[in-house]
Amino acid sequence: MTALTLDGVNTFYGRSHILFDLSLEAREGAVTCLLGRNGSGKTTTIRTIMGLTPPASGTIAWEGRRISGLRPWQIFRLGIKLVPQGRGIFPRLSVEENLRLAMVRAEIGDAGVELGKVWALFPILEERRRQPGATLSGGQLQMLAIARALLGRTRLILMDEPTEGLAPLVVQSIREALGRIRASGVTVLLAEQNVRLALEIGDQHHIIDNGRIRFSGPSEAIRSNEDVKTSYLGVSRR
Amino acid sequence: MSGRGGALVLLGALAALPLGAGPLFSEFYLALAIRAFAFGILLLGFDLLAGYGGLISFGHAMFFGAGAYATALVLKHVTASFWVALGAAAVAGAVLALGVGFLAIRAREIYFVFLTFAFAQFCYHAVNSWEWAGAANGLPGIPKPTLGFGLDLGNRTLLYYTALGLALAAVAVARRVAGSAFGHALVGIRENEERARCLGYDVTRCLRRAFVLSGVFAGVGGGLLAAHQSFVAPTVFHWSVSGEVLLMELLGGMGTLYGPLAGAAFVIVLGDVLSSWMAERWLLVMGLIYVACVLFSPSGFAGLWRSLRERRGAAETPGTP
């Protein structure tokens, strides 16, 4: 079932046109990837869905309900959570404070139970629970950003380049976390530059270039399409 | 530990202050302390807005003034009850902050500073030409309020203890707010507004609430000042009062509650001591102190206190690397 639909979305930053008639779908419980080079419009697409840069035209629907035009905090309350590029952790707040701040509006039951779930998913965060965000490593920040987005009732998680700038070993643990998120039934929209990772964990892919969707299909369709890989993803022909 | 001990000593000293007035020092110092309490209450609310929420207002004199005028007018024309007059001050501060906040909290940073400044100047000039409220002459001859039970606040010692009690209550409320989910939300907004939005916070509404709350604190502070003085003048609305508030906040240390309280006491007391020595030139000394503070302790008195305690803590536990 289609959970998220973008239909003919146009987004501007001031007067510059960024997204052109962009349409895409994300199926419920699946990992949908948004692939493209730097500056292709991945982040803008994610920000547009979250309501941070509302579309000038076109509609965004979540489970059949129109969400374009809603404010970010209203979209959040539908269970749509953002893991932003650069992680967006509050640097002066501790790990636990960062999590607690995210709990207030997230309709959680018991704070202790929620924290327990986070520590189970990422044990390293429990060790660092009193440390300020600024002292965490890149991988730990990413784990915290993901854990924060999973608090409470999360239906859709929007991830903007979660593995950017991380060491291979850390990428591995993020990949495992993604697997567990998917297993728990949460829908994932993942913007990635790491094509290998995306093809491995994604179900459906949309390739974006210059603010337009150029190709959509499952992993095999992209693996077997050398043209798409070379022209839009910068993967060289072997 | 030493923090709690220090607080108890300070509280004891404040409670004992009226005993020394008369034999040890002039009663005038009690009046000065009441002024410091009035500003301290304002600063607690200001710190919730500016220190926690990150919205720096350059117009808090208008809420302080609104509270002072509301109290003065109620005492003059309606009732001598201190509580009714103070309630009127809180309401005046809240209503004005609601209106100004609705219009000004679209802007941020320097634009917000200018907008609040403009509204405060508007209030200053409006009160200056408001004939019924005495226009530029202000409101002289405010009757002394009563606490009920036949207690007359014309008695300076009683007024002092009432002011101290109000200030302590304000501290309790401010601490409670700062420690609540709302206080954490304000910190989140200060640190990263967009992030707070994405975590489900209606940022505009949170900031408006903080603004109204700070208006209530400022109104109560102004009301206390009016109950203490027998006279209020439009100068309570003047921008230099807003400037002093900002100075107290910065000297004390933003987002620490106790810091700005200390800042208020420092500026009021030192301002008085210095101006009696060197007349107008005291501002020069205050300016130098401010520069020294920015250079050596940018986080204000609160930062200085913290680093002193940390240094002592490190000296007391030898063996730790």
Q: B189 CA to chain A: closest CA distance, Å?
A: 10
B203 touches chain A (CB under 8 A): yes
Residue of A91, A97, A101 lying closest to B199 (CB–CB): A101
Set of chain B residues whose Cβ sits within 8 Å of the Cβ of A90: 187-188, 191-192, 195
C-alpha dihedral over B75, B78, B82, B88, to 10 degrees? -100
* Average pLDDT, rounded, for chain B: 86
Contact check, Cβ <8 Å, A73/B181:
no
Crossing angle, helix B300-316 and helix B258-278, to 10 degrees?
Answer: 110
Q: Please give the tally of structural domains in chain A.
A: 1
Local confidence pLDDT in tens for the 238 residues of chain A: 788 989 888 899 988 999 899 999 999 888 999 988 888 889 999 999 999 999 999 999 999 899 988 999 999 988 899 998 877 888 888 898 888 888 888 777 788 888 888 888 888 888 898 888 888 888 888 889 999 888 888 899 999 988 888 888 888 888 888 888 888 889 999 998 888 888 888 889 998 988 888 888 888 888 887 777 777 777 654 4
CATH number of the domain where residue A34 is located: 3.40.50.300
Instruction: Give the separation between CA A140 and CA A166, rounded to whole angstroms.
Output: 10
B52 touches chain A (CB under 8 A): no
- Asked whether the ipTM of the predicted complex exceeds the cut of 0.95, the reply is no
Best of A101, A107, A150, A156 to disrupt the B interface (most B CBs within 10 Å) is A101
The answer to whether position A195 is within a domain reads yes
* Residue B125 predicted with pLDDT over 80: yes
Contact check, Cβ <8 Å, B188/A50:
no
pLDDT of residue A46: 92
The answer to whether position A238 is within a domain reads no
Contact check, Cβ <8 Å, B200/A73:
yes
- Token pair belonging to B263: 């800042």
Set of chain A residues whose Cβ sits within 8 Å of the Cβ of B183: none
Q: A75 CA to chain B: closest CA distance, Å?
A: 8
**Looking at residue A58, what DSSP letter applies?**
E
Contact check, Cβ <8 Å, A104/B187:
no
Q: Which residue of A has its CA nearest to B191?
A: A90
- Strand arrangement of the beta sheet that strand A2-13 belongs to: A16-27, A2-13, A57-62, A65-66
Q: What are phi and psi of A81, to 5 degrees?
A: -120, 145
* Contact partners, residue B40, CB within 8 Å, separation at least 6: B167, B170, B221, B260, B261, B264, B265
Q: What are phi and psi of A56, to 5 degrees?
A: -75, -35
Contact check, Cβ <8 Å, A52/B194:
yes
Task: Report the pLDDT averaged over residues B113-130.
Answer: 90
A100 touches chain B (CB under 8 A): yes
Query: What value, to the nearest 5°, has the Cα angle with vertex B63 and ends B57 and B69?
Result: 155
Q: Which residue of A has its CA nearest to B190?
A: A90
Structural domain harbouring A128: 2-233
Instruction: Say if CB A85 and CB A43 are below 8 A apart.
Output: yes
List, in sequence order, every residue forming a beta bridge with A12; answer none if it has no partner.
Answer: A17
The answer to whether position A214 is within a domain reads yes
